[in-house]
Amino acid sequence: MSTRDNPKTVISEQVFLLTLIQTVAMRKSTIITSIVLMCILTSAKSQAQSKEVESQALSGKAVSTLVAKPSSLPGPTESLKNAKTIYVTSSSLLVGRSVIEDKLKKRKEFEALGLMITRDADAADLVLHVAHDLFTMYTYTVVDRHSQILVASGKLSSLGGTVAGKVAKRFMKQMIEARVR
């Protein structure tokens, strides 16, 4: 039974929409209140949906496939050791993903470790993301795509070299350290 089929949910959505329309007609200052109410309703709806999925899973025999055992998740070092493919993203306008990919491929360690870059996020073992932090500062994070565990990260400055080159150098250093352990 979806939340759309639930009469209480449908009625609460209708009441909310009517309240929103009345509020807009009355005063602008209460629009913020309406938006907050909408967020609360949306949050409550998503929690109800997740509880419904949870209860369906618990009633069936799919419990073991939905709940991962903490001991079965690889640690950060293990993820870095076993990784073969990397997907690169960048939210910085100044440092593009293709530049980071190029700098990674030019590192001799990259080829020596048998790593490859993929443009398919679903095929990657690791996701490397670069973001512009503050002024000349940048951060990078590396997440194991399967377990969603943060396996490597760093903060660096754009002064004295290219950001992409520094990211490639530091990430390769972390990969080598993990594989030596």
In tens, the pLDDT along 122-177 reads 999 999 999 999 889 999 999 999 999 999 999 999 998 899 999 999 999 999 99
Hey, what are 1's tokens?
Answer: 């039974």
Domain spans in the chain, listed from the N-terminal domain onward: 7-66, 71-180
Mean pLDDT of 68-97: 87
The pLDDT assigned to 72 comes to 75
Which residues face 86 on adjacent strands?
117, 126
In tens, the pLDDT along 3-24 reads 555 555 555 666 565 555 555 5
On whether the 71-180 domain is CATH 3.30.420, my answer is no
The pLDDT assigned to 79 comes to 94
The sheet carrying 137-144 orders its strands as 116-117, 85-90, 126-134, 137-144, 150-157
Closest CA to 34 of 7, 8, 15: 15
Hey, what are 31's tokens?
Answer: 């629009």
In tens, the pLDDT along 11-63 reads 566 656 555 555 555 555 455 555 555 545 555 454 544 445 444 444 444 44
DSSP state of 138: E
pLDDT at 116 exceeding the cut of 70: yes
The pLDDT assigned to 125 comes to 97
Q: How far apart are CA 20 and CA 130, in angstroms?
A: 40
Question: Is the CA virtual torsion 166, 171, 174, 175 positive or negative?
Answer: negative
State the DSSP H helix or E strand holding residue 132, giving kind and residue range, or none if neither.
Answer: strand 126-134
Tokens 């490859």 correspond to: 116
Tokens 């293990």 correspond to: 78
DSSP of 144-171, one letter per residue? ETTT--EEEEEEEESTTS-HHHHHHHHH
The pLDDT assigned to 168 comes to 96
The pLDDT assigned to 62 comes to 45
The pLDDT assigned to 50 comes to 46
